[in-house]
Amino acid sequence: MPDLSMRSFRVLLFVLLGLSCGGNLSAALKWTPESGWTIEGGSLSGLAGQDVQRATEMMNKARAAEERGRKSTALGTYKKVAKRFPNSLYAPEALYRQGHLFLDRRQYYKAFDSFQKVMSLYPNNERFSEVLATQFRLAEDLMNGARNYYWGWLPSFRSKERAITYFEWTVANAPYSDYAPLALMNIARTHQRLNNTPYAIDALDRLINNYSQSLLAPDAYLALAQTHASLVDGPAYDQESTREAITYFEDFMILFPDDPGLSEAQHGLDQMKTVFAESKMIRADYQLKYNKNYQGARVFYNEAITSFPDSEVADRAREQLAFIEQRMDELGLTFDEDGKLAIDENAPPRPEKRKRFLGLF
């Protein structure tokens, strides 16, 4: 029991000491032209003994080469620092400066890789927000057509696919930042430019589900509806995309009644409802013309009216229903309580048709 009490006392004492001087334990890396790189504000630099001096000398050498415009020398030295002293304060700073040097040379791919190492290996680094913003802008440049340069002088092909990958990394690095919904919207737009419509829909769907309170949510709803509408081939084909477009147009109009895009959404909704109603008309006409199925035709004409009651398509469906009623009266047909076709016993008998035999009459 005494040993346990003494151990508890020591743990408590250590915690109290840590809390009292915690602000001085974390060191910060500073640079000035006069004194070069120095560690300030604490003792936890990640290095000990001669390693501190060696790392500082290498960082000063790299920064001096950078200031003189000798970017290749600076890049090589920063790379060595990050590799030799990965657990030190110098490593994330070396990667950060390496990334900006690559960016200056328009080596976008290597620049992003350097910044990503800062984000992945040193997530608590003080430059986290700054690096995230730089990654986002880099991805935007590639999305807008910037070319990556190999060795800083040889241009490569434009790569919007690489931009999509970098936007995805931006979302993964900081899913709760303001950049995440922006990145998803850019992913969707880029996929649309590449005619990758299903992937665009996926990005917009993630934006709506994960960032429903974002300022981009209305644009995402409208874009998602329009993207589904772009997949519609016409009334004679499968109507799954039509139904999805109608749903998102209606959701947009309900959720954002004051949005400037309301008239645009209404126009798109009317188009999709027209297509959907026309698809019912096609099925109804087929049942009436080829199968003489008055019951089936009647069902589809009613569905066409229900789909878009105030449309020209609905007016045609009503005319066809009136024609069916007239035709059924002529044939002595009616519908029972279950909606099934039956013969009207009180109807006058139909005149028998005389059979004609070729050559005899």
pLDDT tier, 331 (very low <50, low <70, confident <90, very high otherwise) = confident
Rounded to an integer, what is the distance from CA 100 to the centroid of its chain? 28
**How many percent of the chain have pLDDT more than 90?**
68
Residue 328's pLDDT is what?
82
> Is residue 24 pLDDT above 50, yes or no?
no
**Tokens of residue 325, six digits:** 């009623």
Give the mean pLDDT of 313-330.
91
pLDDT tier, 351 (very low <50, low <70, confident <90, very high otherwise) = low
Give the mean pLDDT of 114-140.
95
Residue 254's pLDDT is what?
96
SS3 178: coil
SS3 content of the chain, % helix, strand, coil (to 5): 65, 5, 30
Phi first, then psi: give them for residue 36, nearest 5 degrees: 75, -150
**Tokens of residue 45, six digits:** 């630099």
Give the mean pLDDT of 2-20.
40
Residue 327's pLDDT is what?
84
| DSSP-derived pairing of the beta strands 149-150 and 333-335 | unpaired
Residue 145's pLDDT is what?
94
Residue 79's pLDDT is what?
95
pTM: 0.80
Instruction: Give the residue, 58 or 23, on which the prediction is more confident.
Output: 58
Least confident of 24-28, 46-50, 237-241, 286-290: 24-28
Distances in Å between the alpha carbon of 296 and those of 217, 226, 281, 290, 344?
A: 42, 32, 11, 12, 19
Instruction: Give the residue, 221 or 349, on which the prediction is more confident.
Output: 221
Instruction: Give the residue, 40 or 102, on which the prediction is more confident.
Output: 102
Least confident of 142-156, 196-210, 336-350: 336-350
Whether the CB-CB separation of 58 and 97 falls below 8 Å is answered with no
Least confident of 50-54, 146-150, 255-259, 320-324: 50-54
Residue 8's pLDDT is what?
46
265-310 pLDDT, tens digit per residue, is 999 999 999 999 999 999 999 998 898 888 889 999 999 999 999 9
> Is residue 222 pLDDT above 80, yes or no?
yes
Residue 35's pLDDT is what?
73
Least confident of 1-15, 229-243, 340-354: 1-15
Count CB-CB contacts under 10 A for residue 349: 6
Instruction: Give the residue, 27 or 138, on which the prediction is more confident.
Output: 138
The rounded distance, in Å, linking the Cα atoms of 296 and 287 is 6
